[in-house]
């Protein structure tokens, strides 16, 4: 008996009756959900007959078969277990070690991501790839292809994105944190290559609200800012989040189940720039494997973390909850973990 994924089965069903449908598949280590949502948001401005879903939460099986665009987030697991799923456009947001507790090794993880891009290229489609990730992928047969389109931060000038002869103005607030820049760039390049006008893309980006638990400012209370980044379930995502607070006084919170990643860059970042680092859950065992300084404080749960925060927080501090681990040691998912953090902010 052959097995497939819900995503692949639904894609095949839609393509049988709607061959002109354009599928955009978004994968990568971080930023998949935001990029999927933003591309979908832009396309809906241009064409209401657009579906947004996949691994982001709404299964493709729930989509109507008569739409023009299908924007789907695709996980490495969905790519691994699919044999034929081939979007017309594949987008790779970035690459960094992740899911190494499941994939055989780092090469296996990267190659799984590359397989989606290769299917698109072999079928005559277009790939949009973060320039930093190109050399990590085995795409040698297509390296010179004009259908490989790259994006990079050198496309940003002030609050403008410049790509070829196109120019898009972006609200300054959207560029305040590095963690969102790749998502905006990937979305702008993808939709420009679909023929969407600069004006539509500009309006859509500037009206977009970032997803919950992605470095979200929850509240400013008693002079302290509380940021919820519960979606940061790997080292790469958490490192980028904390890096964006350099030059500001912040307290970091780590937790969750590690994914067999090297924590060295994250630990060194926090040792150098954080005011304090609170750690709870399964992450404690992993963090204690590394050389630490007195900034690292270990607690049993998030309630204990907040009790300690009430003692050390000062006006001007930023409390940043970017865990760097999966939530399943203490929570059902990262959303439940994020909700718990928000509730404790309200009570503090």
Answer whether residue 142 is part of any domain. Answer: yes
Q: DSSP letter string over 111-148?
A: HHHHHHHHHHHHTT-EEEEEGGGGGGS--GGGTT-TTE
Alpha-carbon torsion 191, 61, 94, 237, what sign? Answer: positive
Last residue of a domain, one of 176, 207, 238: 207
pLDDT of 295 higher than 80: yes
118 and 178 together in one domain? yes
184 and 323 together in one domain? no
Whether 201 and 191 have beta carbons less than 8 Å apart is answered as yes
100 and 234 together in one domain? no
110 and 239 together in one domain? no
171 and 225 together in one domain? no
pLDDT score for 239 = 93
Whether 51 and 64 have beta carbons less than 8 Å apart is answered as yes
Name the pLDDT band for 78 (thresholds 50, 70, 90). Answer: confident
**DSSP bridge partners of 298:** 279
pLDDT score for 1 = 42
Answer whether residue 29 is part of any domain. Answer: yes
158 and 247 together in one domain? no
pLDDT of 104 higher than 90: no
pLDDT of 105 higher than 90: no
pLDDT score for 76 = 79
% of the chain beyond a pLDDT of 70: 94
Answer whether residue 226 is part of any domain. Answer: yes
Answer whether residue 290 is part of any domain. Answer: yes
Angle (deg, nearest 10), helices 334-347 and 302-312:
40
195 and 225 together in one domain? no
Answer whether residue 1 is part of any domain. Answer: no
Answer whether residue 80 is part of any domain. Answer: yes
Q: What total number of domains does the chain contain?
A: 2
CATH number, domain containing residue 288: 3.90.190.20
Whether 112 and 85 have beta carbons less than 8 Å apart is answered as no
Residue range 321-348, pLDDT digits in tens: 999 999 999 999 999 999 999 999 999 8
pLDDT score for 168 = 94
189 and 230 together in one domain? no
Alpha-carbon torsion 13, 14, 16, 17, what sign? Answer: positive
Name the pLDDT band for 24 (thresholds 50, 70, 90). Answer: very high
pLDDT score for 57 = 79
pLDDT score for 101 = 53
Question: What strand order describes the sheet that includes 216-221?
Answer: 216-221, 224-228, 318-321, 250-254, 276-279, 296-298
Q: Please tell me the distance from the alpha carbon of residue 243 to that of residue 240, in angstroms, as a whole number.
A: 5
Arithmetic mean of pLDDT, 178-190: 87
196 and 306 together in one domain? no
Arithmetic mean of pLDDT, 100-129: 81
For tokens 């970017």, the residue is: 322
pLDDT score for 3 = 66
pLDDT of 293 higher than 80: yes
- For residue 228, the enclosing domain spans 216-347
Arithmetic mean of pLDDT, 200-210: 92
Q: Please tell me the distance from the alpha carbon of residue 146 to that of residue 85, in angstroms, as a whole number.
A: 22
Name the pLDDT band for 223 (thresholds 50, 70, 90). Answer: very high
pLDDT score for 275 = 98
CATH number, domain containing residue 82: 3.40.1190.10
Last residue of a domain, one of 154, 179, 207: 207
Q: Could you tell me the two tokens for 141?
A: 């047969």
Answer whether residue 153 is part of any domain. Answer: yes
Residue range 297-315, pLDDT digits in tens: 999 999 999 999 999 999 9
197 and 261 together in one domain? no
Answer whether residue 222 is part of any domain. Answer: yes
48 and 126 together in one domain? yes
Last residue of a domain, one of 207, 225, 256: 207
282 and 338 together in one domain? yes
pTM metric for this prediction: 0.80
pLDDT score for 292 = 97
Residue range 228-254, pLDDT digits in tens: 999 999 998 899 899 989 999 999 999
Q: DSSP letter string over 178-199?
A: HHHHHHHHHHHHHHHTTT--HH
Arithmetic mean of pLDDT, 79-90: 91
Name the pLDDT band for 18 (thresholds 50, 70, 90). Answer: very high
């Amino acid at each position: 008996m052959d097995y497939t994924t819900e995503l692949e089965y639904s894609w095949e069903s839609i393509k049988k009756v709607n061959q002109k449908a354009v599928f955009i598949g978004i994968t990568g280590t971080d930023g998949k959900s935001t990029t999927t949502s933003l591309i979908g948001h832009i396309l809906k401005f241009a064409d209401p007959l657009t579906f947004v879903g996949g691994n982001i939460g709404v299964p493709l099986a729930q989509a109507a078969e008569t739409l023009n665009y299908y924007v789907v987030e695709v996980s490495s697991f969905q790519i691994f277990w699919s044999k034929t799923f081939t979007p017309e456009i594949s987008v790779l947001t970035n690459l960094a070690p992740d899911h190494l507790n499941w994939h055989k090794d780092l090469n296996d993880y990267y190659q799984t991501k590359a397989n989606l891009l290769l299917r698109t290229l072999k079928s005559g489609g277009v790939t949009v790839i973060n320039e930093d990730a190109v050399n990590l992928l085995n795409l040698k047969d297509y390296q010179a292809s004009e259908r490989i389109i790259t994006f990079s931060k050198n496309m940003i000038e002030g609050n403008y994105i410049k790509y070829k002869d196109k120019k898009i103005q972006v609200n300054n607030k959207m560029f305040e944190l590095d963690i969102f820049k790749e998502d905006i760039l990937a979305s702008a390049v993808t939709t420009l290559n679909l023929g969407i006008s600069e004006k539509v893309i500009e309006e859509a980006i500037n009206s977009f609200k970032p997803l919950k638990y992605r470095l979200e400012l929850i509240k400013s209370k008693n002079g302290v800012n509380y940021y919820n980044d519960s979606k940061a379930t790997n080292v790469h995502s958490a490192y980028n989040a904390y890096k964006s607070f350099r030059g500001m006084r912040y307290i970091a919170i780590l937790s969750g189940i590690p994914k067999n990643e090297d924590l060295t860059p994250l630990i060194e970042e926090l040792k150098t720039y954080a005011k304090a680092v609170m750690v709870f859950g399964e992450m404690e065992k992993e963090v204690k494997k590394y050389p630490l300084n007195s900034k690292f404080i270990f607690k049993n749960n998030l309630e204990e973390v907040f009790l300690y925060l009430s003692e050390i927080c000062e006006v001007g501090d930023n409390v940043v909850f970017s865990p760097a681990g999966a939530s399943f040691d203490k929570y059902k998912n990262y959303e439940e973990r994020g909700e718990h953090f928000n509730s404790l902010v309200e009570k503090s």
